[in-house]
Amino acid sequence: MNRVPGRFAAERSGLAFIVALIASIPGAGELAAQTPLSFEDYRETVEPIFLADRGGWGPGRAPCATCHVEQGTPLRLQRLRETAEGEVYWSEADSRRNFEVVSRLVTPGDPDRSRLLRQPLVESAGGSALHVGGKFFQSKEDPEWRAMADWVAAADPVEATFGPRLDADFFRDCVQRVFLDKRPGDVECIHCHASGVRGFAPPVPEGRDFWNEEETRRNYAIARRYVEPGEPMMSRLLTHPLAPAAGGDYFHGGPRRWASTEDPEWQMLAAWVRGETPACVVGEGGR
C-alpha cells in the first residue's frame, strides 16, 4: 500500500516525539548503563578469602574451600589445582565458574541482604543464625567482610529472583518417610539426626508411628536449611548421603543411602527440590 507523503511525515514526527519523551523520563536508559558485579574484582579480592588460612581445622577455623569444594552446598566451588611447588589455585576458567555460583548468593548493591556475607558473620552483627562451617567474622569491620561488602555494594541493584516453592505437604507426607526407612545394612536417618542444628528427624514420640503437624513444621524448618530450591546438587539433604562417585559430599558421618542419582528415591527428592510434586518413592531402587 502506498503511503501519502504528508501522512508519513506526520507519523515520523510523532515517532520522534515519543522517542524524545521516553528519553526525557528519569531513569530511562539506565538499565544498559548498570554496573554489574565485577569478575576482575571478585577474582582479585573475594576469591582469595575462600583460600585464607584460618589457623586450624573444624568449624570457624578451616579455609572456606575445605568444605565448599567437596560439599554439596549452594557455594559449590570448583576443585583446586596444584602447582609443582604444592601451591593450590583456580584457573581463570575455574574462577569464572565460581563467580557464577557466588553471584547467585549475593544481592547486588546490598551487602546486608547477601547470603554470602550473612552466613559467616556472627548473628549479633547481623549475620544468619546458622552456618554449618562456623562463624569467621565477628563484625562488619573485619577487613575480609568489608572487602566482600565493597564488591557487592559497587554493583547496581537488580531485581531479585527466587527459586521454586517447596511443597511443604509433600515433605510432611513423603520426605519424612525417608527419614524413618531402613535400608539393608544401614541405620535410619533418625539415629544421627535426632537433635541439634541437624536434628530434622527426632524420634517419633512413644505411642505413635509418625510426627504430628507441630513436629513436622519443626522438622521442615531444620531440613529446609539443607535444601537449595531448584538445585538438587547444591542441597546437602541430597548430596550428603549420596556416594562421592555420584557427585555426593566427600564426608558423611552416616551411611551412603544412594549409590547413584538414578536411585528412584533420590530422583523423587530431586524433583521435590525443583518445585515439583512427584509420586512418593521411599525405600525402593536399592543400591
207-220 tens-digit pLDDT: 999 999 999 999 99
User: Looking at residues 184-195, what average pLDDT do you find?
Assistant: 83
Q: Residue 40's pLDDT band (boundaries 50, 70, 90)? A: very high
User: Looking at residues 181-210, what average pLDDT do you find?
Assistant: 87
Strand partners, 137: 121
pLDDT at 196: 79
- pLDDT > 90: percent of the chain: 59
Write the DSSP symbol of residue 209: S
DSSP-H helix ranges across 104-235: 115-118, 143-153, 168-170, 176-180, 213-223
Residue 33 has pLDDT above 70, yes or no: no
pLDDT in tens, 227-284: 989 989 889 899 989 998 998 877 777 788 999 999 999 999 999 999 999 999 998 6
Residue 17 has pLDDT above 60, yes or no: no
pLDDT at 58: 75
- Residue 70: count other Cβ atoms within 10 Å of its Cβ: 17
How high does pLDDT run on average in the chain? 85
Residue 201 has pLDDT above 70, yes or no: yes
User: Looking at residues 1-14, what average pLDDT do you find?
Assistant: 44
E-strand ranges in the chain read 81-82, 88-89
User: Looking at residues 28-35, what average pLDDT do you find?
Assistant: 54
pLDDT at 30: 43
d(CA 74, CA 76): 6
Q: Residue 225's pLDDT band (boundaries 50, 70, 90)? A: confident
* Per-residue exposure over 99-133, b if at least 16 CB sit within 10 Å of its own CB, e if not: bebbbebbbbbebeebebbbbbbeeeeebeeebeb
